[in-house]
């Protein structure tokens, strides 16, 4: 429950180490936290004091959040040594703590004569504890997994290292000092973690302010390909978020996702297919609509990702890396989506989009068509090489 602080109390803040407030002495505070992920968090505090304790109020806040939860703790009668037990259980449905984040909490203890003493600040790490996580580390990466052998974790580490090298080729920005990568064996538990922010088709997510990457890892031969796409994609989100700081949300969604898609070690082949189809059907999404949000419906979302990837690549290939960083800086300074593009590239978004569709999409389609016919071309060369080889052999025999 939420609780409004009573008036006319004096709050005394201190570090509990032999401190005595006027008329109040606290000998010890022992705090413990337990939780069932995505269900409830239980706080248990033992307060040893020779004074009568009226009540305790709990405050807790996730790092990076501005919201502070407040709860009135249940007080059990003092024991023989004047030890009070204070308990509070927070239902997650009342306020959902950000997953994989540090949570700070502290107490205000109320004594007679309007004396209120504030405790130290304690903290705990709130992560998904529904599974027994194993870990493997290769700095700056730590991989956590709960199903499968160690090879899946090592593969993830290798991809993370290769992905970080790829990211530096795109943007000369440093990685966070530590990155935690959690591998989920199934999609449903990951969607539970993401809550309302997750979509049914979403199989990877970055938590930028906690330097955490969450992905599902499918069984089968496609696993390596999947890791090579998802891990670098989410790592780019962390790199850009570290550069942007608290202004990260000012970056257009198409730029964030376009950069992340560029980082993938093996580009998603579906991007070219959906782009080609959308171009044929004249259903390309206006880039201006992708500044603030992406569609949640799977097929339209795939098109949005494909466009973001292609448009970002078009800007880099035609105007260079430096201008892309200038564009990021302008967005971080609060310039509007379309105005920033015009300031950096000297053209409106409409003009850039028209040029991208004329040049970028056409080049992509020609390249895709080349790769589509490449296996048949190779097969033709193999077939033709046999009679050609026999003919050359006969000519050589005649000469001898």
Q: Are 308 and 274 in contact (CB under 8 A)?
A: no
Q: CA-CA distances (angstroms) from residue 399 to 387, 392, 395, 396?
A: 19, 11, 6, 5
Confidence check: pLDDT of 206 > 90: yes
Please state whether beta strands 101-111 and 122-126 pair in parallel, antiparallel, or not at all (unpaired): antiparallel
Q: CA-CA distances (angstroms) from residue 56 to 21, 50, 84, 290?
A: 16, 16, 10, 48
Q: Are 347 and 290 in contact (CB under 8 A)?
A: no
Alpha carbon 390 to chain centroid, angstroms: 59
Q: Are 156 and 181 in contact (CB under 8 A)?
A: yes
Encode pLDDT of 67-125 as tens digits. Answer: 999 999 999 877 777 889 999 999 999 999 999 999 999 999 999 988 999 999 999 99
Q: Tell whether omega for the bond before 140 is within 30 degrees of 0, i.e. cis.
A: yes
Q: What is the pLDDT of residue 359?
A: 85
- What is the C-alpha to C-alpha distance for residues 73 and 55, in angstroms, rounded to an integer? 7
Encode pLDDT of 342-380 as tens digits. Answer: 999 999 999 999 999 988 675 444 444 444 444 444 444
Q: Are 272 and 313 in contact (CB under 8 A)?
A: no
- What is the C-alpha to C-alpha distance for residues 142 and 126, in angstroms, rounded to an integer? 17
Residue-wise burial string across 70-83, b where 16 or more C-beta atoms lie within 10 A, e elsewhere = bbebebeebeeeeb
* pLDDT average, residue stretch 268-277: 91
Confidence check: pLDDT of 55 > 60: yes
Confidence check: pLDDT of 33 > 60: yes
**φ, ψ at 283 (rounded to 5°):** -120, 25
- What is the C-alpha to C-alpha distance for residues 230 and 256, in angstroms, rounded to an integer? 14
Confidence check: pLDDT of 18 > 50: no
Q: Give Dmax over CA atoms of the chain in angstroms.
A: 118
- Return all residues near 174 (Cβ < 8 A) that are at least 6 apart: 239, 242
What is the residue-averaged pLDDT of the chain? 85
Q: Are 53 and 107 in contact (CB under 8 A)?
A: no
Residue-wise burial string across 335-355, b where 16 or more C-beta atoms lie within 10 A, e elsewhere = bebbebbbebbeeebeebbee
């Amino acid at each position: 429950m939420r609780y409004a602080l009573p008036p006319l109390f004096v709050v005394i803040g201190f570090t509990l180490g032999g401190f005595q407030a006027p008329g109040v002495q606290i000998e010890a505070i022992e705090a413990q936290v337990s939780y069932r992920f995505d269900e409830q968090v239980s706080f248990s505090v033992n307060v040893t004091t020779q004074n009568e304790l009226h009540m305790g109020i709990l405050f807790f806040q996730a790092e990076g959040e501005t919201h502070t939860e407040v709860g009135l703790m249940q007080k059990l009668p003092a024991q023989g040594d004047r030890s009070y037990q204070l308990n509070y259980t927070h239902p997650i449905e009342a306020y959902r703590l950000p997953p994989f984040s540090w949570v700070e909490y502290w107490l205000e203890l109320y004594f007679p004569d309007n004396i209120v003493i504030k405790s130290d600040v304690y903290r705990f790490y709130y992560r998904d504890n529904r599974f027994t996580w194993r870990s493997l580390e290769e700095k700056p990466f730590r991989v956590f997994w709960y199903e499968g052998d160690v090879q899946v974790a090592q593969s993830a580490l290798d991809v993370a290292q290769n992905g970080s090298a790829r990211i530096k080729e795109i943007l000369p920005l440093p990685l966070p000092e530590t990155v935690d990568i959690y591998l989920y064996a199934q999609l449903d538990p990951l969607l539970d973690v993401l809550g309302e922010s997750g979509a049914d088709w979403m199989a990877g997510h970055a938590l930028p302010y906690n330097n955490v990457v969450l992905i599902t890892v499918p069984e089968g031969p496609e696993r390596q390909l999947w890791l090579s796409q998802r891990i670098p994609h989410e790592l780019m989100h962390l790199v850009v978020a570290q550069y942007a700081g608290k202004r990260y949300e000012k970056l257009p969604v198409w730029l964030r996702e376009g950069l992340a898609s560029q980082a993938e070690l093996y580009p998603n082949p579906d991007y070219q297919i959906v782009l080609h189809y959308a171009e044929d059907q004249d259903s390309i999404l206006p880039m201006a609509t992708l500044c603030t949000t992406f569609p949640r419906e799977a097929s339209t979302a795939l098109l949005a990702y494909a466009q973001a990837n292609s448009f970002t690549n078009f800007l880099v290939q035609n105007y260079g890396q430096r201008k892309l960083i200038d564009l990021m800086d302008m967005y971080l300074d609060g310039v509007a989506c379309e105005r920033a593009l015009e300031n950096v590239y000297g053209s409106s978004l409409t003009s850039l989009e028209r040029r991208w569709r004329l040049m970028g999409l056409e080049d992509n389609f020609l390249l895709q068509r080349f790769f589509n016919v490449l296996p048949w071309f190779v097969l033709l060369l193999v077939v033709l090489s046999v009679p050609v080889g026999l003919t050359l052999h006969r000519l050589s025999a005649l000469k001898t």
